[in-house]
Structure 1
Amino acid sequence: MIKLVVPVDFSTFSMQAISFATPLAKKLDAKLLLLHVKSVPMHWDKLDASQRSHYAEVEAELSLAADKLEGLRKTVAEAGVQVETQLKTNSGKDKIYAFIDAEQVDLVVMGSHGNYGFKEHVLGTNTYSVLRRLQVPVLVVKEDTAESNLERICIASDLREASGPAFSRLEKILEALQVKMELLFVNTPNHFMETRDIEALAADFMKRFGQYNHTLHVIDAFKEERGIEYFVEKEGCDAVAVITSGKSDLRQYFSPSITENLIAQVSFPVLSIKG
């Protein structure tokens, strides 16, 4: 069974992520996990009942968080989605991505701040760390994003071999969502290619890694983010999927920072998947 997870901190941003993820889970016939990680000043799981009684404030906060999670669980369940909740404690050593990674999920849905222009502020610590560390796809939605209505998704790729396996995984996810996929290559001055070379690269890429024929769109832009944003708005796509790589090769220019910049600049959902 497909498994989605939404990290929940009870902010308006995580509430938006739940609203967006719920119909996605229903469409995929997937299980939705609502995960809340509470920071505590000690290793809570190692304390027995008598020791925990000395930390009445922490116990009260955990009890409140459990009640809130239960309320969210009931709301999601009423929408006809299989849902479970988990309340974890963190003394500072473990990060949220470690908890998510342990669940072996297929997709993470997270919320982020509005457009402020400073990606560290927009993303927040949790979203930033999840994007950088997790290998599973991460879908980031904004607070003002409309409820999920994904019909057309732009897939931005460098069409390099290293991105191929991730493209194949992405195709399967989007096929399950029954969305139309638009393949985009952004041609920049720093990595300029002639049209015939791009077409040849795309043909070889799709032959090796694609299951379906996708229309190739080539956009000339000074920066990758500008080209992606222009195309999505021009074509009316509902979201963009970016295949990123952590490699330092200059030609491997779809780096994680491009996804982070996009999230900081645009209002539409961004799906990040690592090559």
Structure 2
Amino acid sequence: MKKLLVPTDFSKEAEKALKVAAQIAKKHNCEILLLHMLDLPIQQLNVGSAPSDLPEAMYFMKLAHKQFEEVLKYDFLDNITVTEMVDFHEVSKGILDTCEKHEVDLIIMGSHGADGLKELFIGSTAEKVVRTSNTPVLVVKNHHAHFEIKDFVFASDFKNDNKETYSQAVKLARLFNSKIHLLYVNTPSNFATTATSKVRIFDFIEGQDYENYTINIYNDETVEKGILNFSKIINADLIGISTHGRQGIAHFFNGSISEDLVNHANRPVITFKI
């Protein structure tokens, strides 16, 4: 892991994400790309005009750089390479373009409590990033004085198309020396026996040589409640799930699932795109 992207609007929530990024950067010698997007109505610009040439754009760029100057004074960023970036784009597109251009390894985003998380995952900029990003996205909700991932819940339906996301999860677990808790949630509407579920999980992880894991079959009313309740029981440091566009995120985040899992999860969530 070499590059971490932290989108910022200079809010307290963005600062929480930056603090987590700083801890990861110090431990693993990463560079932080601190990105602020100026989402200006580009379609209204005169043809041939660059956004940075407009007086309003120049004003907001100067304002952003002043805010960057204050951010870079934070003690927790000492001895870390931080590259400030200001760009003109629709925000989610700008984040994704930056990831591709700079070969970012991990996006770290903050969120606004329960209401903010609900907004984050239903129709907002961050929802678009989570749904479409090929780069793993770590959503941070709370302040973490010491960000560690000792117990990492990887929740899945353990279908073969998720195998690549498990490889990404294993890489993260190796980096943090984490124990992965493979979790399959049984629900009344989609029940499978313990024996069948275990065979499915063993087939899924075949070929991976990561041995620090547990296999867990958990029964609950819904998938999201099962993930929340199991994560609470083991006091997990991180919840990981797979997404593949609208289909993948619908499985976990639409409707009550987004409200129950993400809004009410008092712990970070990381998504891996299939």
Whether these two folds match at TM > 0.5 is: yes
Q: Structure 2 CA distance, aligned partners of 1:104 and 1:219?
A: 37
8 A contact 2:92–2:129 mirrored in 1 = no
What letter is aligned with 1:5?
L
Change (3 A) 1:92 1:173: closer
SS in 2 for 1:208: coil
Contact 1:22–1:76 (CA under 8 A) maintained in structure 2:
no
Write the distance in 2 (CA, Å) between the matches of 1:182 and 1:40.
44
CA contact (8 A) 1:245 1:256 kept: no
The one-letter code sitting in structure 2 at the alignment partner of 1:223 is T
Deviations 1:11-70 (A, max 9, x none): 1111111111110122222111101101223469x6469x93x62x43222101012123
Change (3 A) 1:260 1:137: farther
Check 1:135–1:210 CA distance in 2 against 1; reply closer, same or farther (3 A cut).
Answer: farther
Contact 2:121 2:127 in 1 (8 A): no
Which residue in the other structure is 1:243 paired with?
242
Higher mean displacement: 67-76 or 200-209: 67-76
CA-CA distance at 1:149 after TM superposition: 2.8
Say which is worse superposed, 152-161 or 137-146, in terms of deviation.
137-146
Contact 2:142 2:267 in 1 (8 A): no
Query: CA offsets, 1:194-226, max 9 Å, x none?
Result: 010011111111223453252101110111110
Which string of whole-angstrom CA distances, capped at 9 and with x for unpartnered residues, describes residues 58-105 of structure 1? 322210101212332343774332221111123789554333343321
Distance 1:32 1:259 in 2: 32
**Matching residue of 1:13:** 13
Quick check: 1:70–1:85 contact (8 Å CA) kept in 2?
no
Taking structure 2 as the reference length, the TM-score comes to: 0.85
SS in 1 for 2:189: helix
Residues 89-238 of structure 1 mapped to structure 2, 5 A cutoff: 89-90=88-89, 94-116=93-115, 119-120=118-119, 125-144=124-143, 147-209=146-208, 211-238=210-237
1:243 aligned counterpart, secondary structure: strand
* Identity, % of aligned positions: 28
Give the equivalent residue in structure 1 for 2:27. Answer: 27
Partner of 1:39: 39
Could you say what the CA RMSD is over the residues aligned between the two structures, in angstroms?
A: 3.2
Between the aligned partners of 1:16 and 1:80, the Cα distance in structure 2 is 18
Q: Do the aligned partners of 2:152 and 2:238 also contact (CA within 8 Å) in 1?
A: yes
For the Cα contact (< 8 Å) 1:115–1:264, is it kept in 2? Answer: yes
Deviation at 1:244, TM superposition (A): 2.6
- How many residues end up aligned between the 2 structures? 270
**More deviation, 262-271/194-203:** 262-271
Contact 2:120 2:127 in 1 (8 A): no
Distance 1:89 1:117, change over 3 A: closer
After superposition, the C-alpha distances for 1:251-271 in whole angstroms (9 at most, x for unaligned) are x98445487442222221001
CA distance in 2, matches of 1:81, 1:68: 18
Give the distance between the partners of 2:244 and 2:174, measured in 1 at CA.
Answer: 23
Unaligned runs of 5+ in 2: none
Q: Is the 8 A contact 2:131 2:244 kept in 1?
A: no
**For structure 1, which runs of at least 5 residues remain unmatched after alignment?**
none
